[in-house]
């Protein structure tokens, strides 16, 4: 059995990625924090793809909770390991910095950046021992370009991009790759409050992307065919910023 863990997998890019990896034959560990109903829907769709999975409820920003849940899973699967990790969990709390509450700064960084650390560090030992692993971090155009009203989100994703490159250099000799997928405007709940018609005018492709398009890229990076790609940040943004 091949296992893949997708954080923030209850909907959007996380759900689409879970389905793509299910098509590739992975048993999907569906992480979620708040919406069990949405996570169960993801599991239902995974099963429709002919694979299977299970729900893992934990807040990636909570180190103790993350370790506790993963310890339990590991104890129940002593001869197994998670070979693909997709760090997708993230939140947006947009505001101009002058008006931004400290909690909005801290919480956004905690989920994207500290969450990456908590989950990834836990997974690394087995990947290195087994000499195979795929770590894919979902970042953002905001982490490359910087976006007005998103100093917190840009800082979180920019930090994750830097961490991706650093970790790739550490684990490359053990056939563990680490890459980042930098999405632009993708049709998910995270951007439903944005003025899509206005923003589409800025995108050379003339539209928002789909979660399935992002998932296809993630699926390739998770495959053995992508074994010589590591430390990269691959943009999928319709040409809005290259």
Catalytically annotated residues? 153
Spatial contact of 57 and 69, defined as CB atoms under 8 Å apart: yes
Angle between helices 211-222 and 12-23 (to 10 degrees): 50
For the record, the structure tokens of 156 come out as 């979180």
CA dihedral angle for residue 187, residue 117, residue 59, residue 123, rounded to 10 degrees: 100
For the record, the structure tokens of 21 come out as 């990896």
Residue carrying the six token digits 């599991």: 43
Q: How far apart are CA 85 and CA 96, in angstroms?
A: 33
The phi and psi torsions of 26 (rounded to 5 degrees) equal -90, 145
Q: Give, rounded to a whole angstrom, the gap between the first and last alpha carbons of the chain.
A: 39
Task: Identify the helix (H) or strand (E) that includes residue 109.
Answer: helix 102-109
Residue carrying the six token digits 């943004």: 237
């Amino acid at each position: 059995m091949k296992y893949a863990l997708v954080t923030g997998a209850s909907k959007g890019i996380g759900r689409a990625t879970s389905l793509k990896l299910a098509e590739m034959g992975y048993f999907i560990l569906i992480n979620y924090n708040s919406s069990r109903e949405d996570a169960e829907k993801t599991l239902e769709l995974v099963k429709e793809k002919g694979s299977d999975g299970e729900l893992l409820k934990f807040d990636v920003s909570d180190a103790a909770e993350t370790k506790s849940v993963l310890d339990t899973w590991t104890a129940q699967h002593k001869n197994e390991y998670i070979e693909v990790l997709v760090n997708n969990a993230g939140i947006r709390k947009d505001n101009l910095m002058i008006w931004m509450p400290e909690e909005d700064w801290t919480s956004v960084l905690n989920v994207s950046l500290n969450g990456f650390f908590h989950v990834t560090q836990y997974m690394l030992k087995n990947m290195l021992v087994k000499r195979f692993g795929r770590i894919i971090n979902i970042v953002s155009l905001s982490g490359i370009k910087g976006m007005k009203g998103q100093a917190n989100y840009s800082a979180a994703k920019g930090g994750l991009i830097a961490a991706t490159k650093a970790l790739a250099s550490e684990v490359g000799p053990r056939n563990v790759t680490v890459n980042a997928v930098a999405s632009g405007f993708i049709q998910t709940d995270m951007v439903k409050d944005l003025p899509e018609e206005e923003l589409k005018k800025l995108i050379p492709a003339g539209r928002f992307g789909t979660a399935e398009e992002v998932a296809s890229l993630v699926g390739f990076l998770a495959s053995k065919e992508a074994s010589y790609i590591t430390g990269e940040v691959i943009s999928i943004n319709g040409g809005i910023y290259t």
